[in-house]
Amino acid sequence: MRKKKQHPRSACARRTAGVTLDHAAPWYDWLAPLMTLGLEARLQRRVVAGLRTDRPMAALDVGCGTGTLTRQLHAAIPAGPGRRVVGLDAAEAMIAVARRKAAGREGLEFQAALAEELPHADGTFDRAISTFFFHHLNYDLKRRALAELWRILRPGGQAAILDVDIPYSWFGRLCAYSGYWLFRQPEIKENITGRLREALDAGPFRGHWRIASRHSGYLSLFELKKPETKKETT
């Protein structure tokens, strides 16, 4: 595989081995719908629909990019005390765009931070989502980010991950391997060969995740749940 061009990275992005996208921030909103063959909006609606709630709650979008999905998540959670929606990305340029697009929305904030070192206390969030993010992490980081997701979810909390997974059709194989060759990203190949599933099984979510739906021959929507803690018996 040809050597990959190194793009400039913000200070936060330089702290991770994840594939960060400061350089893509100005055109990401044009490119993302093309990369998903126009399905991005429908897929995002599907992710948010799975986590819908009838009360204000706290939710986190990990690897949020320019925050398009974060804003949808915010809109889907009823307003009121306790509604707090946070979008987080390692690329400071992405966060700057997200903040601009979200200006004036109460209870919606964006942070430049790392998924593998979430700057939040245990049990802070009721919900967490992540789309097209885990194929930017190597196996070790996938495991660390999943452990962090578990930590920041409250018992009974839920998460949804939409990402590249083992292809199940010739079209899916074509899309998945084209992405791998186009971006020259070994992390994508890991997802294609099932390493995201392995990471889920190797950490605290073992036995607490399922594939809720499959899309386009190579994407999976994973649903994760952190069980309620058992009541103490005296």
Ligand X SMILES: C[S@@+](CC[C@H](N)C(=O)[O-])C[C@H]1O[C@@H](n2cnc3c(N)ncnc32)[C@H](O)[C@@H]1O
- Contact set with ligand X (CB under 6 A): 16, 18-21, 32, 63-65, 69, 89-91, 94, 114-116, 131-133, 136
102 close to 96: Cβ distance less than 8 angstroms: no
Return the residue matching tokens 């005296």. 234
Nearer to ligand X, 57 or 93 (CB): 93
Nearest approach in angstroms of CB 81 to ligand X is 27
From CA 70, how far away is CA 213, in angstroms rounded? 21
Nearest approach in angstroms of CB 68 to ligand X is 6
Nearest approach in angstroms of CB 113 to ligand X is 7
Nearest approach in angstroms of CB 192 to ligand X is 16
Nearer to ligand X, 63 or 167 (CB): 63
Backbone angles phi, psi at 31, to 5 degrees: -80, -40
**Strand positions, DSSP E, the chain:** 58-62, 84-89, 108-112, 125-131, 153-164, 209-215, 219-225
Q: Is 227 exposed, middle or buried (0-12, 13-18, 19+ CB in 10 A)?
A: exposed
Nearer to ligand X, 91 or 159 (CB): 91
Nearest approach in angstroms of CB 33 to ligand X is 10
CA distances from 118 to 34, 86, 166 (A): 30, 11, 28
Nearer to ligand X, 18 or 172 (CB): 18
Nearer to ligand X, 43 or 200 (CB): 43
